[in-house]
Structure 1
Amino acid sequence: MKPNAPLAVLALVAMAAMLTGCSNAVMDPKYERNPNPRQKYVVTAKIDGAPGPFKGASVNIRYKVGPSQECMPDAEPISGHSPTPDSFDIKPSVHRASETEYRFDVYLDAMASKDYFGKGICTWVIDYAALTLRPTGAPDEYSLAAFMSHAEIETELPISMYWQRKLYGTSRPHPQPVSESALKREEFAKYRDPDLSDTISVTLQAKELRP
């Protein structure tokens, strides 16, 4: 017996409607920037051991709803996940002080704390601030990235990390863009090499600009 096509179509429509009705997703929450941020830090990045200068530098700061996410929509009842984004990226400009020193600004309060979903005030923390360096600017080369957390920015202590020097200007084995993340001393010794003599180091340090 042939399947009843109209009934099958109706069943699919009903299932889609049921899933849509059960969905808690808010695909576009329209997060807002704080129009008057005050908690400003200047991050200085000092590079040592690079075989040459860097052609380009960029910064991405990811802000995440937190420390509590109770203000966010509930997870999907079926999958347990929600496609509602809980983060927002800001790309500040980078000042090149020299071939080995860069600076950029970070605001802890760059995002507006408000009730975006009708469930209470959403506050924000920095998930990470990432400096990415491009050695020669070639489209197929590895870029070198260094990350700071919210806590590391607030402590204002210098943080030293390392890349393998051989990655400078090295082409990727595949076309997808790839960044090599700098590792702290203990991580580099564990995952790369305990000898730091053949590395490029980057030292990041944040300083608050107090009024």
Structure 2
Amino acid sequence: MLSHTTRPLALVMLASTLFATAGCKEKVYPTYRENPSPKAALPIMIRVTDAPVDVPVPKVFVQYEIDQLCLPPVSNYEGVQYEPKRHRVEYPVQRISETEFRSVVFEDAMEVADYYGRGPCRWSMSFIEASFPFVIDDRRIGASAATTHDELASQGAETIYIKKALTPLSSNHPWTSTWSSEGFQNRRDLLRENFFTVEISKRIEGDTK
């Protein structure tokens, strides 16, 4: 039995524990939904040039960003917006040659809905990514080639540079470095013959490839 001296302290400790437990309760966020019938199609082509190994079929992902005006105002002590701001969608890919692939992604892939009770949340396409699971010298290594939606819309294509050696970033990270076209041009120490390229471009309507 607790003494009269220890009982108040125990009650304070119990109250503190309950308060901390309540404060650490896992936050629950609404589930973002994909548009069941998207219409704004964006056909893309992926071309790999001078790869040092056989080119596997990539996985194609698109990241979408929610309009942050529809998110609830920040009300926590840390001043951090914890509500998810992004959602990634994977799309099917078709191989059309040993080094060429095509896919169709959608600008309106996310459902516009009132997720937070602040009006309809709209989405914008952020970037498009082609992720390759290469195998070299019996080891598996990933390479991610990505471009932003704005770059694709304005330039029509983006070229990504990857080292032919396909060296991993570290022993614990089986992915290799990549450079955007602009980033590669700014690196005078990089020799072009040591790199192969992945081009992501808009596919012209009616193009059979």
Normalising by structure 2, we get a TM-score of 0.82
| Contiguous gaps of at least 5 residues in structure 2 | none
Query: C-alpha separation between the residues in 1 aligned to 2:121 and 2:136?
Result: 39
Structure-2 separation of matches of 1:43 and 1:8: 61
Q: Which amino acid aligns with 2:143?
A: L
| RMSD of aligned alpha carbons | 2.9
Give 2:184's aligned residue: 188
Aligned partner of 1:123 in structure 2 is 122
- Relative to structure 1, the CA distance from residue 72 to residue 139 in structure 2 (aligned partners, 3 Å threshold; closer, same or farther) is farther
Matches within 5 A, 1:59-208: 59-66=60-67, 69-136=68-135, 141-155=140-154, 157-167=156-166, 170=167, 173-184=170-181, 186-191=182-187, 193-207=189-203
- Please state whether the residue corresponding to 1:142 is helix, strand or coil: strand
- 2:12 maps to a residue whose letter is L
Change beyond 3 A, Cα 1:114–1:151:
same
Distance 1:74 1:208 in 2: 42
- Deviation string, structure 1 residues 51-107 (Cα, Å, up to 9, x no partner): 1212341112111103xx110122242011132211111111111111111111110
The alpha-carbon deviation at position 38 of structure 1 amounts to 0.8
User: Which residues in structure 2 correspond to 1:2-17 (within 5 Å)?
Assistant: 4-17=9-22
Deviations 1:161-207 (A, max 9, x none): 2111111xx466423443533421x3124347343122101111113
The number of equivalent residue pairs is 201
Q: Distance in 2 between matches of 1:71 and 1:30?
A: 15
List gaps (5 residues or longer) in structure 1.
none
C-alpha separation between the residues in 2 aligned to 1:106 and 1:204?
A: 12
* Structure with greater Cα Rg: 2
